[in-house]
Structures are given as C-alpha cells and as structure tokens.
Amino acid sequence: MLLIRFFGGKGGVGKTTLAAAYALGRAGAGERTLVVSTDPAHSLGDVLATPLSGQPREVAPLLWAAEISGEEQARRRVAEITEDARHAVPREVLPAVERHLARAADSPGTVESALLDRLTGLVEEVGARWDRLVVDSAPTGHMVRLLSLPALLTPWIEGLARQRERARGADRLLAGMLGGERERPDPLLDRLHARRDRLEWLRARLRDDALVHLVLVPEQLPLAETLRAAEALEGGGLRLGRTVVNRVVPDDETGVLARRREHQERVLAELAGRFSGTGLVRVPLLPDALTGAGELGELARRLGEL
C-alpha cells in the first residue's frame, strides 16, 4: 500500500469529504495518519467539525489534520531569501532587490512554489512521524500544476545556479588579478543547489510512493475534466489510484433522480473503459451532511482501503 494519497477533482464533487473519510479509516486501522488541505478555499476543518491551522493537530485517535496556506508559506520563504540577499548582493542594489522580492511574495508562481516546499516537508516525515499522508488537493487544474512543479522547476533552478556560478567565477578571476580577499561562502548558490536536490528527491518519492485518486460525480463536465487530468498526471510520471465516483444515484431511486440514471450509466461506462486498469469506487448518494467523525466513519467503510 502506497503511503501518500492525493484526492483531486473538479470543485464541488466531494473530494474534501472523501479525503477526510479515507484518512479517518486509515487512522481507525491503526495508522498514524495526517490529512492536509492545499485548497485555498479550505473546508477540511468544516468537514471534520473542528478548527484547523497550518500546523497539524490531533482531531481523532491517530488522526491529525492541517490546512496549508500557500500565501503564508510564500511570505516566510521570501523573508528567508531576502535575508540571504543581504549577505550576497552589493549594497547599492539591495534596495531594488528587496522591492522586487516584496512584490514576488504575492505572485502565483511564488505561492505555488512555497506550497510545494511545505508539502515536501510533510512528505519527508512520512515513515517517521506519520504512517500515511492524505492530501485534499485544490481543484483539478491547480492540483495538476502543483504535482508537475518538481519537473518544471528543476531545469529552471539549474539554469539559475549556472548563471550564479559564472558570476562567481568572474568575481574570483578579478579578485585574483587584484590580489583580493579569499572567496566567501555564497548562501544564494547553496540554497539553489539544495532546492534542486530537494525537488529531485520529491519527484522520485511521488513517483514511487504516491497515488492520485481522481474524484468526480457522474456528469459530463466532471467526466471531461477527469479524463484530461488523468492524461496529464500519467504523462508526468504519476500513478493513478482507483477513481472515486461520488453521489451515484441508486438503482431503486424513484422520482426526479431516477431520470438521471440513463445519463449516469453512460458516464460510468466510459469511466469503466478508461480506468479499467485501476478500477472505480462508486459512492452512492447519501442523505447525511457527512461532517464529523460519526458520519465520516460510514463513508470510510464504503471506501475501504482504496
């Protein structure tokens, strides 16, 4: 059983509820389980009926939960980089660098990258502090982007490191010609090398020890988005777990909902063909609000071990 699970899908299909229920089930099976939300519109705390923050807190026996803010992580990361810059760039250009970094703190790319850093830290703790990590991802496009970042960022960081090394080489040459002082450490270059190595490690860990469970309801638009996400994730070297089809109308349903079954069956048939290798889990339309440990426990039993 792979220890890292992502739940992702179109907004409103129930992925947060399913992620929480799965995490509760693993905790009930005796595993130290952490469930985290990376969705900016956090609702994991609502589903678990308890307030959450960026730091994991125990919400049930062997179950911890957290809601990660990409913006908060970005501000912390930019502050670290700014401090490094104060020791590595000439004083006359430092104010301009600080202004640029202050603006960068709110940019989407910085927020995504900082969120990935936090996720990497949690993945590093799987096997030591946690037996299982469950991630309630942002809606599909954001999830695919986040999981693709290790492969996208690595060559970019390597290019930055090469540029920095060339600049330092010119500085060394000039210092040697002028009899200058000995070469000083370069915290920016050290940070670039460390980040490249960490991204490569995360990419390998996700490839070897993670599954992505795509969640949808049996309708045409979520189906189309799910099929695109599956292609993108598999193309990026990630493995898909069983696809979860939520809110399936039972066969014995009467009235208005019964009229949706014909369309539902067409969607389910297409899903069964596309995901024949991984399989489907059908979760029926349930009457409860599905919040709190009691109601989630019933849903966890329906999910099984995925």
Contact 147, 212 (CB under 8 A): yes
pLDDT in tens, 287-300: 766 777 777 888 89
The pLDDT of residue 107: 62
- In the block, tokens 């039972």 appear at 250
pLDDT in tens, 186-214: 666 777 778 788 888 999 999 999 999 99
Q: Which amino acid is at 87?
A: H
The pLDDT of residue 211: 95
pLDDT-based confidence at residue 76 (cuts at 50, 70, 90):
confident
Report the C-alpha dihedral over residues 298, 44, 213, 200, rounded to 10 degrees.
-140
| Domains of the chain with CATH codes | 4-303 (3.40.50.300)
The pLDDT of residue 140: 86
Q: Which residues contact 28 (CB under 8 A, 6 or more apart)?
A: 62, 297, 300
The pLDDT of residue 73: 67
Q: What pTM, to 2 d.p., does this model score?
A: 0.82
- In the block, tokens 């349903």 appear at 253
Average pLDDT score, the chain: 84
Q: Which of 114-118, 165-169, 247-251, 268-272 has the lowest mean pLDDT?
A: 165-169
Residue with more model confidence, 203 or 100: 203
Q: Which amino acid is at 201?
A: W
Sign of CA dihedral 107, 4, 56, 122: negative
